[in-house]
């Protein structure tokens, strides 16, 4: 038995959807363990495109069980809309293949509004959130005033929980000159949908423990990327949860000994959505070309992604922090037309060379990348399925990346199609 955690090693959008879909075919269970519907995975299967936000990628595969863990924050209306959308494409979603943790925290309408209010009034200090209410929901979780899935079972309990959370939020809303939320109206809206949510609700930690005893293969599916981790990312330009591999344990209640292999999804270049430091960002025609060829627009927000050269220093740091065992290198074919390709191997900060990404945001914004240059291959790598068939310059670049980051490249993606993958090492078979 092998249990695999998949995380993004950059700022998200590394192409996790395709890799997770490929792995989910081999897994028995697929689990989301953090984040919310601010993260999107795009899957293309038999010509049909599925855009998932909260549902685990295993939901599109027959005979797989999908789990939303306690570490996820759930907008119940968004989840029900997503279930409706995915069912309209012929996908089965019922209590036999979807389980939601009874301990998962809910995103409510005032969380979304607070997210929008903060971004709109932040000026130069805006974070660049997806405005989905993720941050405010996690704040209420830590503040011990949030509504959890289990709270929908009892009208009396829900009334008390809503009274507690609205005492906090309405005080802030009054101070900002915003209309307060009516408890009874919100309670009525929640009770109306509660049967549709509660039917999926179970103690996930207990379910996963049983699956482990049965020797099931479990795939833990991360959202966003390590560089957006609230502790280890480019703070404060981060998400509100821990995106590193170890949060798969806390986000599901299964313990760190349940993790056997960590796969880091890594783009052959770098992208970022929203605000924040980006040392290798290209604001020229090369950056524009990467964006066009890579179709760099967000799955959830459709925002244009910022593009830049591969940052080996950042990826190497992510590997160490998240305990990554192997790398799935994606979007190699996007680089096919370039005369020259660069990889950041060091930074310069205040005239000194450093080989790590500093924690202070003022330093992150000042550092200058130091590059190693590679000749491009100027020929198509699209749909190549054997590393021997790649152009020599492409192989040279791949081996240089592998050598610098200090972790083996276990697969290489050469197009969005799931079969266009060069498989070197299967995480489930090691």
Paired tokens of 226: 């390590």
Asked about 13 being catalytic, the answer comes back as: yes
Catalytic annotation, pick one of 21, 37, 41, 75: 41
Closest CA to 60 of 80, 88, 79, 101: 88
CA-to-CA distance for 131 and 36, rounded, in angstroms? 11
Closest CA to 232 of 246, 220, 250: 246
Q: Cα-flanking dihedrals φ and ψ of residue 229, to 5°?
A: -60, 135
Catalytic annotation, pick one of 13, 21, 229, 311: 13
**134-142 helix and 109-121 helix, angle to the nearest 10 degrees:** 110
230 within 8 A of 242, measured Cβ to Cβ: yes
3-state secondary structure the chain: CCCEEEEECCCCCCCHHHHHHHHHCCCCEEEECCECCCCCEEEEECCEEEEECCCCHHHHCCCCEEEECCCEEECHHHHHHHHHHHHCCCCCCCCCCEEEECCCEECCHHHHHHHHHHHHHCHHHCCCCCCCCHHHHHHHHHCCCCCEHHHHHCHHHHHHHHHHHHHHHHHHHHHCCCCCCCHHHHHHHHHHHHHHHHCCEECHHHHHHHHHHCCCCEEEECCCCHHHCCCCCCCCCCCCCCCCCCHHHHCCCCCHHHCCEEEEEEECCEEECCCCCCCCECCCHHHHHHHHHCCCECCCCCCECEEECEEHHHHHHHHHHHCCCEEEEECHHHHCCCCEEEEEEEEEECCEEECCCCCCHHHHHHCEEEEEEEECCCCCCCCCCCHHHCCHHHHHHHHHHHHHHCCCEEEEECCCCCCCEEECCCHHHC
281 within 8 A of 306, measured Cβ to Cβ: yes
**Which residues are designated catalytic?**
13, 41
């Amino acid at each position: 038995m092998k249990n695999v955690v998949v995380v993004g090693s950059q700022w998200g959008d590394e192409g996790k959807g395709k890799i997770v879909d490929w792995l989910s075919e081999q897994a028995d269970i697929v689990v989301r363990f953090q984040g919310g519907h601010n993260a999107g995975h795009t899957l293309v299967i038999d010509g049909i495109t599925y855009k998932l936000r909260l549902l685990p990628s295993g939901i599109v595969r027959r005979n797989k069980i999908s789990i939303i863990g306690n570490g996820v924050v759930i907008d119940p209306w968004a989840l029900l809309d997503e279930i409706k959308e995915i069912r309209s494409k012929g996908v089965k979603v019922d209590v036999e293949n979807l389980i939601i943790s009874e301990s998962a925290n809910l995103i409510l309408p005032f969380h979304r509004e607070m997210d929008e209010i903060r971004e709109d009034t932040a000026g130069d200090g805006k974070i660049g959130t997806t405005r989905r209410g993720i941050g405010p929901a996690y704040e209420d979780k830590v503040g011990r005033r949030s509504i959890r899935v289990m709270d929908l079972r009892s009208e009396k309990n829900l009334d008390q929980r809503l009274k507690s959370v609205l005492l906090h939020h309405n005080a802030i809303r009054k101070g900002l000159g915003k209309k307060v939320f009516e408890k009874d109206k919100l309670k009525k809206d929640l009770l109306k949908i509660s049967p549709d949510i509660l039917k999926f609700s179970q103690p996930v930690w207990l379910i996963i423990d049983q699956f482990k005893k049965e020797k099931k293969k479990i795939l833990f599916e991360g959202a966003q990327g390590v560089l957006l981790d609230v502790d280890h990312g480019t703070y404060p330009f981060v998400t509100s949860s821990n995106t590193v591999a170890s949060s798969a344990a806390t986000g599901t209640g299964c313990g760190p000994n349940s993790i056997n292999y960590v796969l880091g999804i890594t783009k052959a270049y770098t992208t970022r959505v929203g605000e924040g430091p980006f040392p290798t960002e290209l604001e020229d025609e090369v950056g524009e070309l990467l964006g066009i060829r890579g179709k760099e627009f967000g799955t959830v927000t459709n925002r244009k992604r910022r593009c830049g050269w591969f940052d080996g220093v950042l990826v190497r740091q992510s590997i160490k922090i998240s305990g990554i065992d192997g790398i799935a290198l994606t979007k190699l074919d996007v680089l096919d037309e370039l005369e020259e390709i660069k990889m950041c191997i060091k930074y310069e900060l205040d005239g000194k060379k450093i080989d790590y990404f500093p924690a202070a945001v003022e330093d992150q914004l000042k550092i200058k990348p130091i590059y190693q240059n590679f000749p491009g291959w100027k020929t198509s790598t699209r749909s190549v399925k054997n590393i021997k068939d790649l152009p020599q310059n492409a192989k040279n670049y791949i081996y240089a990346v592998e050598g610098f980051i200090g972790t083996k490249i276990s697969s290489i993606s050469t197009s969005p199609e799931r079969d266009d993958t060069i498989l070197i090492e299967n995480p489930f078979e090691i």
